[in-house]
């Protein structure tokens, strides 16, 4: 009997010892966990290209490729750290760093006063998650399940907030249309014309709306992570995941990857103008299509993989939740950040972009309202 009583104590001591700081073992797991990390060679190459002033195309391609493994490492480090912090703090951490790549690229563009690139890259991320990721996830689940179900209440709460965020982008467009100003001239450059008579009103409207929208998003986080967290969890919790990295190593790597990503993103943004001219493609295409594909690559794979396993709550959380983070959290946050920087970033998007976002949000609302997905595969 005594040996049986002491065995768990010894095991607990060993488990506690294994939780100590072990940077080498944690780094080995993080860096060797995927073949995709071989692309990390593009990180020093992109920095060398920037230092030696290589062509814009070389700088764009190398930094573009470097963002892909950095995005995955950022997601892996966040996931490892969230396992150690408990469900509430872990959920908050995932919500904060879930779209860190988009935020870092957007801040780099904001510093360089490329406000149109900020808008198109964030809007492209929202559309990519709502249309491409969610659509491919539903399609992939059809190969394994005749019918996939998910929590209706949580999905409707998410889609309602997404609709609210979409409306906040329609109101500035309506305000600008009522002023009678030419929309095409507003979006002809990287930033709006400071002498535009409607700019002052748009800035006041956008900044006030951004503050309200941020408060609403924080209330949604409390709803999701604290008061009604059970609605956003999958029913099956048989598999308990154990962290392969200690929390200090995961946190340190999270800081390192964020700093490296910020440097690479600065190189990427700085090369977009010349690259767009060299390739004869519009900057809007780079912002709406290319940058979101790179920044969300890891999330795309995760969402589709979870859908193939029948974990639709996680799929909805990745696709729709990520869109909410950007539309209701990141876009208004950047409007507030731009305020003291004297950058005239508003919530006024081009009419075509606003219409596409509205139609996409309405389509997703219709798909999620019954809590089921079907696919004839």
* C-alpha span between 118 and 272 (Å, rounded): 12
Give which of 194, 198, 202, 195 is closest to 169, Cα–Cα: 202
Is 7 inside a domain boundary? no
Is 252 inside a domain boundary? yes
27 to 18, 55, 369: CA distances (angstroms): 15, 34, 43
Task: Count other Cβ atoms within 10 Å, centred on residue 376.
Answer: 5
pLDDT, residue 84, reads 72
- Out of 26-35, 110-119, 143-152, 183-192, least confident range: 183-192
pLDDT, the chain, mean: 81
DSSP string, 116-159: HHHHHHHHHHHHIIIIIIHHHHHHHHTTT-SEEE--HHHHHHHH
The residues pairing with 147 across neighbouring beta strands, listed in sequence order, are 374
pLDDT above 70 covers what percent of the chain?
84
Is 24 inside a domain boundary? no
- State both tokens at 52: 């030696």
Is 220 inside a domain boundary? yes
pLDDT in tens, 184-214: 666 666 777 676 777 888 999 999 999 999 9
Give the count of alpha carbons within 13 A of 338, CB side only: 31
Confidence category of residue 13, pLDDT binned at 50, 70, 90: very low
pLDDT in tens, 131-185: 888 888 888 888 887 777 777 777 788 888 899 989 988 888 888 878 766 666 6
pLDDT in tens, 303-360: 888 788 877 777 887 788 888 989 999 999 999 999 999 898 999 888 888 899 999 9
Give which of 36, 70, 94, 85 is closest to 245, Cα–Cα: 85
Is 14 inside a domain boundary? no
State how many domains the chain has. Answer: 1
Residues 6+ apart with CB under 8 A from 36: 68, 69, 72
What range does the domain containing 217 cover?
32-374
Whether the CB-CB separation of 163 and 366 falls below 8 Å is answered with no
pLDDT in tens, 41-75: 999 999 999 999 899 999 999 999 999 888 888 88
């Amino acid at each position: 009997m005594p040996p049986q009583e002491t065995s768990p104590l010894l095991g607990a001591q060993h488990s506690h010892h294994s939780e100590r700081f072990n940077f080498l073992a944690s780094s080995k797991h993080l860096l060797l966990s995927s073949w995709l990390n071989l692309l990390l060679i593009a990180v020093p190459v992109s920095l060398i290209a920037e230092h030696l002033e290589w062509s814009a195309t070389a700088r764009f391609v190398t930094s573009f490729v470097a963002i892909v493994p950095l995005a995955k490492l950022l997601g892996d480090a966040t996931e490892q750290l969230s396992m150690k912090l408990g469900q509430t703090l872990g959920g908050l951490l995932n919500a904060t760093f879930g779209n860190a790549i988009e935020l870092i690229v957007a801040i780099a563009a904001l510093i360089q006063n490329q406000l149109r690139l900020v808008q198109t890259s964030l809007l492209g991320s929202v559309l990519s998650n709502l249309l491409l990721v969610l659509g491919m996830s539903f399609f992939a689940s059809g190969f394994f399940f005749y019918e996939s179900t998910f929590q209706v209440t949580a999905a409707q709460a998410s889609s309602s907030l997404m609709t609210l965020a979409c409306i906040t982008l329609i109101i500035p467009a309506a305000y600008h249309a009522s002023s009678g100003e030419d929309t095409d001239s507003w979006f002809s450059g990287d930033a709006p014309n400071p002498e535009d008579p409607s700019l002052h009103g748009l800035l006041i409207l956008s900044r006030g709306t951004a503050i309200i929208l941020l408060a609403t998003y924080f209330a949604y986080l409390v709803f999701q992570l604290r008061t009604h967290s059970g609605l956003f969890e999958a029913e099956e919790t048989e598999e308990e995941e154990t962290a392969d990295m200690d929390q200090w190593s995961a946190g340190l790597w999270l800081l390192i990857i964020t700093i490296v990503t910020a440097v690479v993103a600065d190189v990427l943004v700085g090369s977009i103008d010349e690259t767009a001219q060299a390739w004869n493609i519009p900057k809007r295409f780079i912002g709406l299509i290319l940058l979101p594909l790179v920044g969300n690559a890891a999330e795309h794979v995760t969402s589709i993989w979870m859908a193939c396993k029948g974990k639709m709550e996680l799929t909805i959380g990745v696709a729709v939740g990520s869109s909410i983070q950007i539309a209701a959290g990141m876009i208004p946050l950047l409007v507030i950040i731009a305020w003291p920087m004297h950058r005239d970033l508003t919530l006024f998007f081009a009419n075509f972009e606003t219409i596409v976002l509205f139609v996409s949000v309405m389509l997703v609302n219709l798909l999620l309202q019954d809590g089921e997905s079907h696919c004839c595969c």
